[in-house]
Structure 1
Amino acid sequence: MTDPHDTTRKPNRLASETSPYLLQHAHNPVDWYPWGDEAFARAEEEDKPVFLSIGYSACHWCHVMERESFENEEIAELMNRSFVNIKVDREERPDVDQIYMSAVQLMTKHGGWPMSVFLTPDGRPFFGGTYWPPESRMGMPGFRDVISRLAQFWNEQRDEVLRSAESVTEAVGRIAAPDMAQTSLTDQTLRNAMKELLTAADRRHGGFGGAPKFPHPMDVRVLLRCARRFENDEAREIACFTLDKMADGGIYDHLGGGFHRYSTDARWLVPHFEKMLYDNALLVPAYLEAFQLTGEGRYRTTVVETLAYIEREMTSSEGAFFSTQDADSEGEEGKYFVWSAQEIRDILGDEEARIFSAFYDVTPQGNWEGTNILNRPRSLEEAARSLDLEPAGLTAQLETSRQKLLEARSQRVAPGRDDKILVAWNGMMIAALAQAARVLDQPQYAQAATDAAEFILGSMRDDEGRLLHSYKDGRARFNAYLDDYACLIDGLVELYQTTFAPQHLEAAVTLAEQLRDDFADADGQGFFYTPHHHEQLIARSKDTQDSATPSGNAVAATALLKLGRLCGRTDLQELGYQTLQQLSGLIAEHPRAGGQALIALDFVLGPTREYVFVPGKTFGDVDALQSALQHRFVPNKVVMRRPADTSDDELPEPLKPLLTGREPGDTAAVYVCEQGACQLPITDPEAFEKSLG
């Protein structure tokens, strides 16, 4: 990877960008342009095709292609002579990435990053791929040959190039915003999804399918809901087994906390070592819900360790959260995270190292390329028996050993970090922290979520109050996308239900109205990924299927349904329901592509209740009543709390529908309501807990 601070070569146009990924290429000999009109105008003027390269800062093979090809003077000269070259950070411009990834998948039947696409001067794709080595090898064409042949093809067979571009562009348009079949929203869809997930489950190693294996937190959460709804023990067991295997595997950082991107093998041992904010933000609620459902302390521990990592390594001075950490350090993937047996002995001493190594699978020969990825192949109880130790004593000793090794690891050259702040991923982490604060009774998590929300709302909006997508080095840039709005609304809704600060709900309502006005399809067919005022690309997409993150339409449906219930806004509820209805055919036919939509469906099917807590003037503890609810797995609910010493007239507007008339009495109480119809208030925490079933 090129050092962005290397001044031995004249910088290209990327030097004025904020993206760490683009800055990594700022001293390449390639005459890179950022995405924009300037590049396409030059291509049009000089009658050259465009080479579009898309990646992200934590992408291992992106770094490899840079070292091999984009740093190669001869290849760069050929690129500069024959093409106008554009470099895009997929995390800054997911709209561009989505469209051209569809094109590459159409042309090659697969996709990935770095993504390499050749375009006409008006942006239509005619050839594409992913990583190419500089020279042909092992059946792969060399990048030098690819660009030479395509330059010749452009000059000598232009008509064929343009026909191909037209065909691919038409196909991309159909894929970007497909007409989807619809079906009834019933619990049969959830039953079918549960059946398909259980069929796909790996009963030996956990997870779904084979290698490479991704966490799929939304699918785990669907199984937990199905376990509750249908009283299905198998769904609960598979969900918990998956969470156990991931937390025991090498995909989890046993020293620093947090999860790596995915496992390259079926048993979660060898990760791709990059760490993404969104993976950890999505996994935290899955472990919290397993903790609520089972009471098992190991799930709580995983959450606490993961959030400690976020606080220590992924939190900006402004309070928001950074995006990613690289897989590589010192040019080697995973070097920062792996250990030799001798290193561990040198740090811990022979006896402490013997115990640690026995528990974390450390051997002289190693378990990966001669080194050791820490993992837990045996349970604490099994390891304690084999070591002739008490479990409590082994736990304490392992904690001491981990702290010593974490301190030693911190002296290594750390992986690079992409420190831009993205609204959508921050929204996911705000939601995760808010849920953790109330489930684990840890108010510092609520404060961290509040800090992030206040930074985004204060520093990542334009002059008209619309959200901006990315922030780096004091600059907020790019129109926010559908998932930015949807995830932040969801995060604010969760934050309100933890802090009961009305400004969070008020901000969520404002954003929901902007979402409706700027993104909704006028035909009632869900939401577009980009706002109506966005630049025109070759297609305008709708984000409907989950990938590593939940689809924007599914999160929008989830957030609007919850917000509408909290505020008594039937218009927002209806918009959320209509959005979910647009996804009904997808989740019926392909449930594994719609985990987040299935979570929203479970909420719609209910019973979904509103819990309204009212402090007492003299007697009773409203916190005790709340505690009875937040420690239980009751996913289909919204929660409100009456502000103390506030009259009905003084209530903020979003709170009035559910709180008006529920003025404090002598004793703290909770009203259990469904669609506004409430039961008699409950004042006894034990009676309230029994009513939860």
Structure 2
Amino acid sequence: MPNRLARATSPYLQQHAENPVDWWEWSDEALAVAQELDRPILLSVGYAACHWCHVMAHESFEDAATAAYMNDHYINIKVDREERPDIDAVYMKATTAMTGQGGWPMTCVLTPTGEPFFAGTYFPPEPRQGTPAFTQVLQALAEAWRDRRDEVLTISNDVLEHLRQNTDSVGGPLGSDQLDDAVAELAKQYDAEAGGFGTSPKFPPSMVLEFLLRNAARTGSEQALGMVAGSCEAMARGGMYDQLSGGFARYSVDRFWRVPHFEKMLYDNALLLRVYLHWWRQTGSPLAERIARETARFMLDELRTPEGGFASALDADSDGHEGTFYVWNPNQLMRLLGADDGAWAAQLLGVTGPGTFERGFSTLQLRVDPDDAERWERVRTTLLAARAERTRPARDDKVVASWNGLAITALAEASVLLDEPDFADAAVAAAQLLVDVHLADGFARTSRDGVAGANSAVLEDHGAVAEAFIAVLGITGEAVWLDQARQLLDRVVEHFTDPDGGFFDTADDAETLVVRPKDASDNAYPSGASAAVAALLSFAAITGGHGYRAAAESGIASAANIATQVPRFAGWTLAAAEAVVAGPLEIAVVGPRKDRTALHRAALRLASPGAVVIAGDVGLAIPLFEQRDLVDGHPAAYVCEGFVCRRPVTDPDELVSAFGTPTG
């Protein structure tokens, strides 16, 4: 019989609906049953595109004997980390504190009231490389709960005390000296040979790259721009990037970006679209422009849902193996392309006899541009057609508010800079879905098939979606989007602010967990605090609202110690601080839509950190447009910086020459 997860809206939870484990969703009822039966809670956290989550499910949760033991001794709760990042944050902090590392699947054992006393990640079905079997862990912990209760409670109290410690000590503002010091610190960790930072596995450092681009724009630093160029080129030319249809995988398992973990996440591609767009804007790199266009097309082609939002992810697996959809061997190329084109493609794409991946297969790399563009297009088209016949990876079509916010912001900007109107249409449609579905009754973090989920939005959702609404205002000139952003940011200030500085990740009227999570460090995507800071800064620039600016500066200060000590985990905060140092520029492009396009594009081509650009008709009912009119009948750009406004400019070339000389 299906368990309770058959009624879940999460694709990840539904993947476990046929397990023999008697799963619960996280709920007051589940905790109440645990207390009534005096059983510990087995908490399993993962997400739909997680490869090792699938492995552990097949090995343990689908095994009847293992499931029977779990059902007899535990209350078993399954959580989708993408639906409940607040629960994930609390217990991931416990996991890293207890084991020194984290990741998914995350496996925690809790007291019936939710305090953790054991934590780990993946456990195999039999002992392996020093890791005990999952059944051994289950039996040992059940016995400890039964026979050594005092010892267990002592551990849980110690862990809870650690979780309650606020690690975000408020520092000072991040000025130009601190920002330049962060660049120097990043340079020490930069891999000059392979691009990126640190060693394997390597994750795309999207937020750090945005910071470095802004720093280079402000200071002219060749060092900062060089780290961006080296990293972006290496990622785009390696197996991390889908050389046939665009889109980035989650991370590279090796230092040189050859072999990825093949899942494709919306947030990675949204953030990287913006990075490559800005890299092109600052350098004119043809590679940057191509990757930006292809990444945006991938998002529209592969991740758009029928309702107009963007799905969370594509799975890594198909046909029972990771990467099957994406990898090739020389025989396949020869059979499809013929001997000449097959050999040429194999050499061009790094497909070898032994293989660069597994089972004699290779990922596709494009380390140099093809010497024959027409031939490459013919080969690419043939390979795409053949790949389309393969079993496609599953898609997690859950719409996550914050990740859609990141996508909307990137697509809105790209629509103007790349002259792609359908990018704008997609951005507006996704924003409208968020209004119509996610914000129809409170603020739901997720939706699926046009139906809002039951879980409330957290801080990152408020920040990323507010910034997205501001981006849509910027390209449509419709004041309603500023009103939508205001409602979200007012809630941030009123319900998420920590009196001691910065922001909590959950609202003061949200569900109470064992601790209220607060973490200003960026991980795979911007933290709630840094997402809120970015939106607050832009909103303050448009409205002149000093309270919003003060809230943003408080958020930056709350992450100052992280930003100065470990800047790799504070890229979005550092990028926001660059905007503070730069002003940011406030640019109102005034005029009819059909006449203002060139001026609007010129304004967005300015690389000034965090510049806020709004284009709209005369009389747009927002503060930035007050008393702003055409100049001699022509559209005009009004530019202000640091409470000082310049004379309006009507010539796009004059705007560029006055405020920067981008080459994109």
Same fold (TM over 0.5): yes
In 2, distance between residues paired with 1:280 and 1:622?
29
What residue is the counterpart of 2:580 in the other structure? 604
**Identity across matched positions, percent:** 40
* 1:471 maps to amino acid: S
Q: Does 1:372 align with 2:341?
A: no
Instruction: Determine which of 621, 628, 634 is the counterpart of 1:667.
Output: 634
Distance in 1 of aligned mates of 2:63 and 2:94: 27
Candidates 603, 622, 627, aligned match of 2:596: 622
Amino acid of the residue matched to residue 395 of structure 2? R
CA contact (8 A) 2:590 2:637 kept: yes
Distance 1:245 1:131 in 2: 31
How far apart, CA to CA, are the structure 2 residues paired with 1:144 and 1:667? Answer: 74
Give the letter for the 1:455 counterpart. L
- Residue 563 of structure 1: CA displacement? 1.0
CA distance, structure 2, for counterparts of residue 662 and residue 507 of structure 1: 25
Mean Cα deviation higher: 262-271 or 551-560: 551-560
Closer/same/farther in 2, CA of residues 231 and 657 from structure 1, 3 Å limit: closer
8 Å contact kept, 2:208–2:571: yes
Report if the CA contact (8 A) 1:213-1:263 is conserved: yes
Deviation at 1:688, TM superposition (A): 2.2
Name the CA distance, whole Å, in 2 between partners of 1:615 and 1:416: 45
Amino acid at match of 2:208: D
Residue equivalent to 1:336: 325
Aligned residue in 2 for 1:519: 496
Distance 1:641 1:115 in 2: 46
In structure 2, what is the equivalent of residue 684 of structure 1? 651
On the 8 A contact 1:496/1:505 being kept in 2, the answer is yes
The runs of 5 or more residues in structure 1 that have no matched partner are: 1-9, 385-393
Amino acid at match of 1:254: Q
Runs of 4+ in 1 over 6 A off after TM superposition: none
CA deviations on 1:625-668 (whole Å, 9 max, x unpaired) are 22322234233321233414x4xxxx42xx13542253664233
Q: 1:327·1:334 contact (CA, 8 Å) conserved in 2? A: yes
Alignment partners' CA distance in 1, 2:592 and 2:395: 49
The alpha-carbon distance between structure 1 residues 139 and 249, as it changes in their structure 2 partners (threshold 3 A), is same
Residue of structure 1 equivalent to 2:289: 300
Aligned match of 1:271: 260
Partner of 2:133: 142
- Structure 2 residue 399 is the aligned partner of structure 1 residue 426: no
Deviation (angstroms), 1:498? 2.2
Residue 603 of structure 2 contacts residue 613 of structure 2 at CA under 8 Å; is this kept in 1?
no
CA deviation after TM superposition for structure 1 residue 215, in Å: 0.7
Q: What is the identity, as a one-letter code, of the residue corresponding to 1:687?
A: E
CA distance in structure 2 between the aligned counterparts of 1:612 and 1:35, rounded to whole angstroms: 47
**Amino acid aligned to 2:361:** T
Closer/same/farther in 2, CA of residues 657 and 235 from structure 1, 3 Å limit:
closer
Partner of 2:45: 54
After superposition, give the CA deviation of every residue in 1:142-189 in whole Å (9 maximum; x if it has no partner).
111111111111111111111111111111111xx4340412431011
Q: How does 1:175-186 map to 2 (within 5 A)?
A: 177-186=166-175
Match of 1:200 among 189, 195, 214: 189
Is contact 1:613–1:640 with CA below 8 Å preserved after alignment?
Answer: yes
Structure 1's 12 and 47: CA in aligned 2 closer, same or farther, altered over 3 A?
same
1 CA distance for matches of 2:296 and 2:595? Answer: 29
2: CA distance between counterparts of 1:657 and 1:473? 37
SS at match of 2:78: strand
Q: Which of the numbers 388, 407, 416 marks the counterpart of 1:410? A: 388
- Native 8 Å contact 2:41 2:75 kept in 1: yes
Query: Greater relative contact order: 1 or 2 (C-alpha under 8 angstroms, separation 6 or more)?
Result: 2
**Per-residue deviation, 1:591:** 1.6
Q: Is 1:29 aligned with 2:6? A: no
1:468-500 per-position Cα deviation (integer Å, ceiling 9, x unaligned):
101124431211000001000111112222222
C-alpha distance in 2 between matches for 1:426 and 1:133: 35
Distance 1:682 1:45 in 2: 71
2:509 paired residue number: 533
2: CA distance between counterparts of 1:103 and 1:328? 29
User: Which residue in 2 is equivalent to 1:109?
Assistant: 100
- Which whole-Å CA distance do the structure 2 matches of 1:575 and 1:402 have between them? 50
Specify the SS of the correspondent of 2:9: coil
Q: CA offset at residue 682 of structure 1? A: 2.1
Partner Cα separation in structure 2 for residue 486 and residue 23 of structure 1: 29
Change in Cα spacing, 1:23 to 1:642, as seen in structure 2 (3 Å) is closer
AA aligned opposite 2:609 = P
Partner Cα distance (1:46, 1:160) in 2:
20
Helix, strand or coil at the partner of 2:233 = helix
Q: Secondary structure at the match of 1:214?
A: coil
Quick one: which of 241, 251, 256 aligns to 1:252?
A: 241
- SS of residue paired to 1:117: strand
Q: Is the 8 A contact 1:568 1:658 kept in 2?
A: no
TM-score (norm 1): 0.92
Q: 1:659 to 1:403 in 2, by over 3 A?
A: farther
1:675 Cα deviation from its structure 2 partner: 4.0
Distance change >3 Å, CA 539–CA 630, structure 1 → 2: same
1:435-467 superposed Cα distances (whole Å, 9 cap, x missing partner): 11121111111110000000111011253xx21
Whole-angstrom distance in 1 between the partners of 2:353 and 2:120: 41
- Tell me the distance in 2 between the aligned counterparts of 1:52 and 1:537: 14
What is the rounded CA distance, in whole Å, between the counterparts of 1:87 and 1:568 in structure 2?
45
Write the deviation string for residues 399-456 of structure 1: whole angstroms up to 9, x where unpaired: 2211211111111111111111100100000011011112111111111000000011
Output the aligned Cα RMSD: 1.7
1:284-295 maps to which residues of 2 (within 5 A)? Answer: 284-295=273-284
Aligned-pair distance for 1:607?
Answer: 4.2
CA distance 1:404–1:39, change in 2 (3 Å): same
1:317 shift after superposition: 0.6
Give the Cα–Cα distance (whole angstroms) in 2 for the partners of residues 607 and 21 of structure 1.
43
- Inter-CA distance 685–663: structure 2 relative to 1 (3 Å threshold): closer
